[in-house]
Chain A
């Protein structure tokens, strides 16, 4: 199996590494670039734990070949915080919106995409946006509340 170079932008930094035939973006980010924030949950595109943003749109990294991300912009949960937490992260912290935390990075990226496109979502819009992200611990209610809470905070700051 031949190795191919892939260069992309990861959370604002230019990054490059070799990929193997058939390697998906999730393994590439984790093993080749060392960004461990996207998680493997199913490898079937059904749980959302590997959700990252590809040119701003939420995608399932387990379903995308690494080489198709060449030259494109990837954002992950590892890049959300600067010196301070992102408002969504803060809302998850204060709203007790995570228990085991395994779905959290993917959940956050789905929510980031929503709030960028729709800064003042309704509950139904939040539900639709995270509908592809499974959580086994929380019963979803605290997550929905945290996203709505973050939207309020972001609105006030803007």
Chain B
């Protein structure tokens, strides 16, 4: 049962539109019910070859030798690929956005870091024959110690999971082994609170489970081009990744997709397109590489596990005055997208509440398990579980109804959020009121009268007079630099490449970057809006919040953060960027 509550925010809406707001029948629905919608696998090719991977049976192992001789003689096997066949066998997905170090091979050459990691690909005339071929590839393994728990992985002496990040932690901004959020003084506020409420929350990995598994079919097109039918959720992301790993101009690639049998975040990793295209390039025939269901569940990247520790300081009347987070994202063996999820999570904290003192330390941790990736609610679902279970404990501690507590602490228009931007367009109070009404809960007069549009701003809209910052988790002598990649003084060091060095020339920016210059006392202050007088952001300057939601000043000479200066670097998705 669905109802529209048009009485809310009616004055902000023009409901008199012609097509917008109508329950128009879906454009794609007739194709769906007749079975004619063209999913990636619904393109038939004469002479289609099938690709299946030889996978690691170990959590962590050195590859001593891969012997394909018997497999090559297996009936129907056309060719077997190993890492040596991949033109640039090292990538990280977000390198297209200049974020992170290349850390993951398409086919592992010297070492595997999770159970199921591919080390060879068998191309055969049928899927069954490809499976037979896979069974005949002999790999000599040398098992290595492994680590599966995020907090064990960051203890000294833990096995190194990902060579690009030897401390098993992603490096943020070349400075810290975690992403920080600092707003106000949490320690002081906790000391002054009437109650301290603590919690530890854990979310296990979850499979996206689209009914269509991930896959791609690639085929020679014409004039040296290759067509690729794909289930990707991000066509140009996948195209850019394939172009990079295959070291081929994007103009040689023709990607077709757009009709996808569910994704939920599990189809952004772009593992299938490069391998299917490589197989088509090396055999001259159409090739399909798709997960079977077992691979989809255990090799395909899941929503990663998250562990969160929360500490709240609460006053007797229910006002939350401090909230501290320590979070661990289990990225699995490689980065994929977990590094980004943490940025998104930190921008979301402390949830939809106005809390004057907030701090967070969030770690992207490598463990010897299937790399994690996006899923519906990426970066938010796990911590929202933590926050909202915590809110229930707080309500119990102070003896308030859970909805009363939420309305009391809800953020409102004009409030200052912990990421230092003004809250706008809030509607949490109204949602909570509607649920209370439907659940038959008698809210207090104050909660009934509350509104997202009133009561915010003013004192609540100011930046904290003092923000406690610290240098905990500082990474010294880290490598190369930009917003995305590492930036710090010290000798430049290319990303370590297991096995053969990448075919591409090293990025120019890896050569040098100026050390970050920053006044410690300004740590809590926002960067000035372009053209703003410097006086407006004196240390602790709470008087001048930046215009909310306006884009921050672009990085570049003269606008601030020295760590972001440097040579121009081209990213296929985001273009030229100064670093």
A–B touch (CB < 8 A): the answer is yes
B504 at the A interface (CB under 8 A): no
Q: Is the CB of B33 within 8 A of A100?
A: no
A70 at the B interface (CB under 8 A): no
Q: Considering the chains assembled together, what is the distance between the CA atoms of A81 and B36 in angstroms? A: 12
Given A34-B44, A102-B262, decide whether A92 and B210 contact each other with a Cβ distance below 8 A.
no
B32 at the A interface (CB under 8 A): yes
Given A43-B292, A43-B293, A94-B25, decide whether A102 and B211 contact each other with a Cβ distance below 8 A.
yes
Per-residue interface assignment for chain B, residues 433 to 469, with 1 indicating a CB less than 8 Å from any chain A CB and 0 otherwise: 0000000000000000000000000000000000000
Given A20-B126, A101-B28, A102-B210, decide whether A77 and B262 contact each other with a Cβ distance below 8 A.
no
Q: How many residues of A contact B (CB 8 A)?
A: 43
A54 at the B interface (CB under 8 A): no
B35 at the A interface (CB under 8 A): yes
Q: Considering the chains assembled together, what is the distance between the CA atoms of A43 and B30 in angstroms? A: 26
Residues of B within 8 A of A40 (CB): 41, 212-213
Binds B, one of A2-10, A120-128, A129-137: A129-137
Given A39-B211, A101-B28, A102-B261, decide whether A78 and B34 contact each other with a Cβ distance below 8 A.
yes
Given A96-B26, A101-B32, decide whether A41 and B42 contact each other with a Cβ distance below 8 A.
no
Residues of A within 8 A of B34 (CB): 37, 77-78, 80-81, 85, 89
Given A41-B211, A136-B210, decide whether A77 and B264 contact each other with a Cβ distance below 8 A.
no
Within 8 A of A (CB), among B208-233: 209-213
**A interface secondary structure, majority:** loop
Q: Is the CB of B211 within 8 A of A85?
A: no
Per-residue interface assignment for chain B, residues 245 to 264, with 1 indicating a CB less than 8 Å from any chain A CB and 0 otherwise: 00000000000000011111
Q: How large is the interface on B (under 10, 10 to 19, 20 to 34, 35 or more residues)?
A: 20 to 34
Q: Considering the chains assembled together, what is the distance between the CA atoms of A76 and B32 in angstroms? A: 13
A37 to chain B, nearest CB (A): 3
Q: Is the CB of B44 within 8 A of A93?
A: no
Q: Is the CB of B30 within 8 A of A93?
A: yes
Given A39-B39, A136-B264, decide whether A103 and B211 contact each other with a Cβ distance below 8 A.
yes
Which residue on chain B has the smallest CB distance to residue A81? B34
Q: Is the CB of B25 within 8 A of A93?
A: yes
B534 to chain A, nearest CB (A): 53
Q: Is the CB of A89 within 8 A of B211?
A: no
B24 to chain A, nearest CB (A): 10
Within the complex, which residue of B32, B44, B292 is in contact with A98, where a contact is CB–CB below 8 Å? B32
Given A43-B292, A47-B211, A102-B210, decide whether A85 and B261 contact each other with a Cβ distance below 8 A.
no
B2 to chain A, nearest CB (A): 11
Residues of A within 8 A of B211 (CB): 39, 41, 47, 49, 100, 102-103, 134-136
A36 at the B interface (CB under 8 A): yes
Within 8 A of B (CB), among A89-146: 89, 92-94, 96, 98-105, 108, 134-137
List B residues at the A interface (Cβ < 8 Å).
25-26, 28-37, 39, 41-42, 44, 48, 75, 126, 128, 209-213, 260-264, 292-293
Q: 13 A-B residue contacts at CB 8 Å? A: A37-B34, A39-B211, A40-B41, A41-B212, A49-B211, A78-B34, A81-B34, A85-B34, A92-B33, A93-B29, A93-B33, A100-B262, A104-B33
13 further A-B contacts with Cβ under 8 Å, apart from A80-B34, A89-B33, A136-B264, are: A40-B213, A41-B213, A42-B293, A43-B292, A81-B34, A93-B25, A96-B29, A98-B32, A100-B262, A102-B39, A102-B212, A136-B211, A137-B262
Identify the 10 closest CB pairs spanning chains A and B, nearest first: A37-B35, A101-B32, A102-B261, A42-B293, A89-B33, A77-B35, A105-B35, A100-B262, A36-B42, A41-B211
